[in-house]
C-alpha cells in the first residue's frame, strides 16, 4: 500500500495515499481498534456532517467573507455535497467506540472535506481546522449531526413506513368488516368481537405511536451549532448560530432552529431520551401486534388457526411442509433490540460532566439503529405478512360458538351467578350453553333462542 505524510499538532503521520482523511483520523484508527468493520460511525451521522459543514461555510461566507472567501466556499461546498450524498463514505472509517465527544469523527469530516476540496481546486486551498471547522467545535458539531440525522431518519424512513403500515391495517379491517370472532383476555376466551375491531386496535396503537414520535420532533430540531466548545460561542461570529440553523434547514429540506440555550444543548441529551422513548413505545406495540398475529395464525390444525398468513419460506430443515410466522419473529426481535437500545440511550444521556456529554457516539449509534430497524422491519412486515393476512371465517365461527363466555349475554336474564353455573355445567359435561341453561331450568329453549345472539354482543 502506498502512503503519504500528513501533519497535525502532534507531528507527522502516514496515511493511505488513496484516502482523503488526514492525520487525526489515522491516529483514531490506530488508537481505537474496537469493533472495526462492524460498528463504524453511522452513515447518517457522516452525511449529516456534510450538511452541517456546508451550512457552516455558507454562514461564514456571509458573516466573515474575509476569512471564508468565495473560492474557499465554492470548493468546500462541493466536497460537502459529496459527503452528504454518500459519495465519500469509504473515507469515513472510524468506529463508534472513540472519544465520547465525537471529536475524531468531526476531524474525519474536516480532513476529508479539506483534502477533497483541495483536489477539486487543484491547490492546497483549505485547512481542516481553520476553514472547514471555522466557527465550530467538535462539541457543538457532533450533537448537531446527531439531531440532523435523527430528524431526517424519522421523517424520511420511519414515519413513511409507519404510516404505510397503519394504512395497511386499516385496509385489512375494512376488508374483514362484519366477521365476528371470539375475543380473548388473559389468553382465555372472552366476549365476542368483530375481527375488524380487533384490527382497529392495532392500527390505532400505531397511530398513537406516530403522534408521540411527531411530538418529539420539535425538540430534535434544535441545533447546538454555534455553542462551540462550552456553549459560550467562542470564536463564532455574531449571528452565526441563527444563520447556520437557517442554512441547515435549506439544505436538509426540513425545519431546524438554533437551540435557545447552548449550555444545555452541549451537556444534555434529554431530547434523545424523550424521542427514543416514543420509539420504544412503537417497538412495544409492534411486539404486541406481531404476537397477536402469530397466535391467531397458530396451528394450522392444533392452534387457534383463525387467520392465515403468507407462507414465505420452508419453516423447518426436518419437518416437511412446516411454515413459521417468520416476519412476526423478525419484528419481535427488532422490538427487543429497540427496547434494549432505549436503556443505552438513557444511560448515555445521564453521563458526562459539567459542560459536555461524552457519551454522544453510543447514544447516536443506538438511536439511529432503532430508527433504521423499525423502518425496515415495518416495511417488510407489511409487504410479506400484513398484506396477505386472511380470516378463516369457518374457524372463527367454530371457535366463537364453542366459547363459554357467550354466557355473558344471559346476565340480564338469569343473573351473574346462574350464568356462571350454566357455563361451568356446559364445560364440565361438554354440552352447549343452551343445553346447560335449559337443563338447569333457568330458561326455556324458546326463550334462550330469543335472548341469545352472540353477533349482537360486539
3-state secondary structure of 2: coil
User: What span, in angstroms and rounded, lies between the C-alpha atoms of 6 and 19?
Assistant: 11
**Which of these is catalytic: 9, 28, 176, 186?**
186
Which of 300, 294, 218 is CA-nearest to residue 259?
218
Query: Which sign, positive or negative, has the C-alpha torsion 307, 312, 317, 319?
Result: positive
Residue pair 405/190 in contact by the 8 Å Cβ criterion: yes
382 Cα distance to chain centroid = 16
DSSP string, 38-61: TSBPPHHHHHHHHHHHHHHHHHHH
Q: Verify cis geometry, omega within 30 degrees of 0, for the bond prior to 391.
A: no
Radius of gyration of the chain (CA): 30
Active site residue 203: no
The 10 Å Cβ neighbour count of residue 249 is 16
Residue pair 137/99 in contact by the 8 Å Cβ criterion: no
**Which of these is catalytic: 7, 65, 316, 350?**
316
Per-residue burial over 415-435, b if 16 or more Cβ lie within 10 Å, else e, is eeebbbbbbebbeeeeeebbb
Which of 57, 56, 41 is CA-nearest to residue 93?
41
Distances in Å between the Cα of 10 and the Cα atoms of 23, 33, 72, 360 are 9, 20, 26, 25
- Neighbouring C-alpha atoms within 13 Å toward the C-beta of 35: 12
The 10 Å Cβ neighbour count of residue 163 is 14
Query: Which sign, positive or negative, has the C-alpha torsion 91, 94, 96, 98?
Result: negative
Q: What share of the chain is helix, strand, coil (3-state, %, to 5)?
A: 65, 10, 30
Q: Beta strand pairing status for 390-391 and 307-308? A: antiparallel
User: What span, in angstroms and rounded, lies between the C-alpha atoms of 70 and 59?
Assistant: 12
- Neighbouring C-alpha atoms within 13 Å toward the C-beta of 273: 12
User: What span, in angstroms and rounded, lies between the C-alpha atoms of 317 and 189?
Assistant: 34
Active site residue 316: yes
Residue positions annotated with a catalytic role: 186, 316
Amino acid at each position: 500500500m502506498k502512503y503519504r505524510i500528513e501533519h497535525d499538532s502532534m507531528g507527522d503521520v502516514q496515511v493511505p495515499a488513496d484516502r482523503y482523511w488526514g492525520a487525526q483520523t489515522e491516529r483514531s484508527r490506530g488508537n481505537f481498534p474496537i469493533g472495526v468493520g462492524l460498528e463504524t460511525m453511522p452513515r447518517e451521522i457522516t452525511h449529516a456532517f456534510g450538511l452541517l459543514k456546508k451550512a457552516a461555510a455558507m454562514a461564514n461566507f456571509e458573516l466573515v467573507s474575509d476569512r471564508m472567501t468565495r473560492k474557499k466556499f465554492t470548493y468546500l461546498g462541493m466536497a460537502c455535497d459529496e459527503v452528504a450524498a454518500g459519495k465519500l463514505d469509504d473515507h469515513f472509517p472510524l468506529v463508534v467506540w472513540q472519544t465520547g465527544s465525537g471529536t475524531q469523527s468531526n476531524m474525519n469530516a474536516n480532513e476529508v472535506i479539506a483534502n477533497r476540496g483541495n483536489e477539486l481546486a487543484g491547490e492546497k486551498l483549505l485547512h481542516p481546522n481553520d476553514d472547514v471547522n471555522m466557527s465550530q467545535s467538535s462539541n457543538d458539531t457532533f450533537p448537531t449531526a446527531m439531531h440532523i440525522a435523527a430528524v431526517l431518519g424519522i421523517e424520511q424512513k420511519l414515519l413513511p413506513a409507519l404510516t404505510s403500515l397503519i394504512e395497511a391495517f386499516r385496509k385489512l379491517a375494512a376488508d374483514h368488516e362484519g366477521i365476528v370472532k371470539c375475543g380473548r383476555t388473559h389468553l382465555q376466551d372472552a366476549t365476542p368481537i368483530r375481527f375488524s375491531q380487533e384490527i382497529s386496535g392495532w392500527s390505532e396503537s400505531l397511530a398513537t405511536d406516530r403522534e408521540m414520535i411527531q411530538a418529539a420532533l420539535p425538540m430534535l430540531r434544535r441545533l447546538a451549532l454555534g455553542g462551540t466548545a462550552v456553549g459560550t460561542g467562542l470564536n463564532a461570529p455574531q449571528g452565526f448560530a441563527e444563520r447556520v440553523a437557517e442554512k441547515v434547514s435549506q439544505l436538509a429540506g426540513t425545519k431546524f432552529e438554533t437551540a435557545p440555550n447552548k449550555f444545555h444543548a452541549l451537556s444534555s441529551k434529554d431530547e434523545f431520551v424523550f424521542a427514543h422513548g416514543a420509539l420504544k413505545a412503537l417497538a412495544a406495540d409492534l411486539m404486541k401486534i406481531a404476537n397477536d398475529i402469530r397466535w391467531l395464525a397458530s396451528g394450522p390444525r392444533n392452534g387457534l388457526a383463525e387467520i392465515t398468513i403468507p407462507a414465505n419460506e420452508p419453516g423447518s430443515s426436518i419437518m416437511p411442509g412446516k411454515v413459521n410466522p417468520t416476519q412476526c419473529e423478525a419484528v419481535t426481535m427488532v422490538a427487543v433490540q429497540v427496547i434494549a437500545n432505549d436503556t443505552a440511550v438513557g444511560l448515555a444521556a445521564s453521563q458526562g460532566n459539567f459542560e459536555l456529554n461524552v457519551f454522544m457516539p453510543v447514544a447516536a449509534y443506538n438511536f439511529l439503529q432503532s430508527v433504521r430497524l423499525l423502518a425496515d422491519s415495518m416495511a417488510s412486515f407489511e409487504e410479506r405478512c400484513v398484506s396477505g393476512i386472511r380470516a378463516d371465517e369457518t374457524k372463527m365461527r367454530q371457535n366463537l360458538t364453542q366459547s363459554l363466555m357467550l354466557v355473558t349475554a344471559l346476565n340480564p336474564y338469569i343473573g351473574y351467578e346462574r350464568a356462571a353455573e350454566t357455563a361451568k355445567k356446559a364445560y364440565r359435561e361438554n354440552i352447549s350453553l343452551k343445553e346447560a341453561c335449559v337443563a338447569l331450568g333457568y330458561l326455556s329453549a324458546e326463550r334462550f333462542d330469543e335472548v341469545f345472539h352472540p353477533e349482537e354482543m360486539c
